[in-house]
Structure 1
């Protein structure tokens, strides 16, 4: 453990848990004018006290008087470079955390603000688009009221066709313009999806029918009527919207327009009721648009590279959307939640879900995840216009679009912080060059020791603080010499033991297998293996896969030796298609008598079919495998097993069989160092947290699942150094 004020070295040897533990703690607190060395032999409780005492020291929990005394004796040659580097590193770490990780709250707030802005932009755009029907309708209504447009008779109405056609061609966002008089005679001109002009007349002389005509670009009828169909204007939505409105103005809901086309047209419009001074009905003017036309207008809204916008009415009917498939926006006027476009239906369903919420500005927010794993942010807002339809505006933004700019900013912050760090480090180096010759000499000697030359001597030249530091480092060097031989032996043992673990997982088209092991000391007692009977190529497509995982009590050299003996016995006793229970019995027989009293080993054996459809397993005191099915969302931890190895002689072990019918199972097995990981409050990680991590990372590969578990353990523990050996193997069935 390192700190700006000193270093804590801890080493230990253990024969067995619960017997005697020798702990050597060598604590060196190095300032510029003092040094303290504490040799300690203690048990686990005393060791924790020493570590806690050092932790208190490193956090600066001092008496104010002691702090002031230390600071007053610090050399400027030391304090200036040190404070400069600490300041630079602190700023760099802070910028790095903000740029690379950020916080969940900040990201969430950013997403909410961006989606709110996008929705408000769309609302303003839609309001400007809807302003066209309002202007045309009010303009024509004013003409009728002032006598500039006569609509009293059928002939009067027919004479207005060219005028309305010119309006239709001038305003591309409008699809149809309709006028009727007090006798319910009327017509409308309409632009078809193909761009042709049509005239629809419903006069009394047509005896309840509407007659369809083709028009040229000047609004003149072309010879020969195209069709006729029954038509009652008083029952049409445009008529009811005007008549039933209190102020004589109303927006129609989304409805199918009357025409002779095989595939109908769906749209909406704004109807204006014309009344005389006496309050009698003079006529109705309706200016409408199709959902296709409005969707084409929405194509001009680019809220992000892959962002979507849509409009739905109060009944949930899809009014318009950009990027929508043509079949979704025509014919029948579908419910937005029933759209085959998964982004539209997913957004509407998310807004109706329990996880949606309203922010302080009244925007409705929700999220959903696409089939490709992309997370979409959904934001909705009412149109909120007095003279406007009762519509809801919805924006759909992929998080990748929104965070693209954030990533660019983060990259720039990283580059800027690196420049600042390099510049400040350069300045600090210049300051360090001014440090006195004794400090340079001490550094040279320290580097010599770091390179392995423990015969290096420290010069005692300089003031009091340098003399004290030199003497302290001399005592430290003598202690390091005594430990070097033991450390070298441990490194050799660690290298040998690491080479005994499998270097790669079996290769299979049906199974994704990954393993991981880390020891709390240089060597440990955890073990996993893929003992195979093939030629060693690792290709297991045509044969079953055998997996072994074990845990020896204790740590260090003793546990490592037992682990090696168990590995040898396992590979020696393994037979083709033999019973896993028999295999554990043979391994137990081999170990019993060779393992000292009080020491034992747990082991779990798995054998999976080539296609992963079933699994045989046997346990010697080891926790059974955890099986998770993402499709069902359930965990299964089978029961069974025997006593640990090397406890009883001639102990029988049973083999169990487990079917894996879902085809997506994730099999997780590990040593107890995973779920017995403890935090600073002595709370255990537990299997419930482990299952949560497996569930959240079930879509990842086996190796990535292991990495997520490791990250969760490190975060829970508060450090990356485990107190116990940690080993795990993950098998994931592939589709």
Structure 2
């Protein structure tokens, strides 16, 4: 029996009319208060959620841009290597596997096996792992091509197997296929796979016909072997005389572009993401948004030769949609509240570049579940308590007083339990639960509280994910010190925030125990998350370009050209010191890009030499040509030190600067010790100088000692 009925039976004969008046009045006021509280919670939570959704859209727009730039850089490198090999005499032909051998049992390469990172459309229209070979690419001759006439080009292209394998390792699971298709009918794809239609001719594919002399995107199209929707970046190949040889291409799955599984983990499976292209409607001359990528395009696939009819992103709220489209055309990111597919939703949008934008749509109901429940529980709880209090206040007789006393005691105990549990939740304990049975409406309140706690925990999970940014950046720095014969090396970065713009890296040539190492130290302007993103971009560009070889001045020049495109609108830049130590020839080469020069200390003469040179910071002038500097005659005991200005420009609480002079003194004082001891001595002295306070700028230090 409900608690208000129990009290009603006891007090039926006492002041029924006043009781009804008080109850009706109080209930109406409580309903109004509950609705007001619920509305405030809804408004605040919706605003907070929309701002978090906008942050998600901006972050993934940046990820798409970085991925696009990295793929274009990889395509340029692949095309350059293919053009070079096609001009050389053909090597002796090794074992080559053709498309029909991959489809015939017993004739495919030994490593041809299923890989969960490569998917294909199964007969029941579901996703299934595809079989691939990383040891051998697949070759295919177009109809009419004669093997005897093109065998020399096939032999030349077999030399791309190792570069393609390295490209796959660097890009992870981003790339689906990499391929070369020549005008003479030869088609090569990596990793090796089967499934090609009998009449397949790469020269008839959209990515081949639309290729230019620079990376060009064809999107979206259906992959002929897997029947999955992909984006393709392609570029023409030309001989040294400028004649057309064919096309190089790279495929990326549309699912890798949209990142829906990752975003859904943060929000809801009901969310939708879109990659859109900004257009002007030819009928109205108004901004319009064409959908280049969405989850639904895979369902439109009817065959590998059929084109995909692209949709237009629309909303019934015409005025708000026009505002959003206009913002995207102006490069402005933001969020708005308007329907999608007749469902009330929050839209967050951010520009990827001057042509592409990323849009995330989440139903408003995802944000409203918690405040709606909270508002209803507040109204119900307060109404029940006021009903009991009203009945208790009317009692004048002893039996009524006793009933009011015991009833109030029982009610107070349950409220104290709820209050104590709510206080624990406020302190961060989401494991707390209320284990109490009252036999009346309070059981519903307790059940609602126990159900609400894990929902609050889910909404706070996105805040914890921001901490992952720190861990991700730490993983980009070297985890171990390389073993280079004749050198003792140590390096460390200390960030003033959770993420920073300082960067250092070790690139060893010649494998483990090699005699040459390349050391890179960089400093992005400012610090924090924007600088951390640029640091990750620079690291990716440096590692990709360094893996292609060449003198270090050319490497830095090429990286600057690509990096300047990324920072053009932000006006940010990065100083860099790129150093190569060759112990075989006992010399050091370096390129200085606006960074403080390294110093070389020779204990034999007690002289400190500055390894200086000219060079603009990365991102300032994309056409800058960098110079390579060199010093020979490295001898045992010499010490090379490089770092960032956060070390010697650090200030203590009196305004005194740490200075390079103090650093030079420490190098001399500890020159007889190992590289790590020298580095730790300098950083420990910096900590004492700062009196244990956190540095105001990122600090990076690398010490190299010639040991033999």
- Calculate the TM-score normalised by the size of structure 1: 0.34
Q: Which protein has the larger Cα radius of gyration, Structure 1 or Structure 2? A: 1
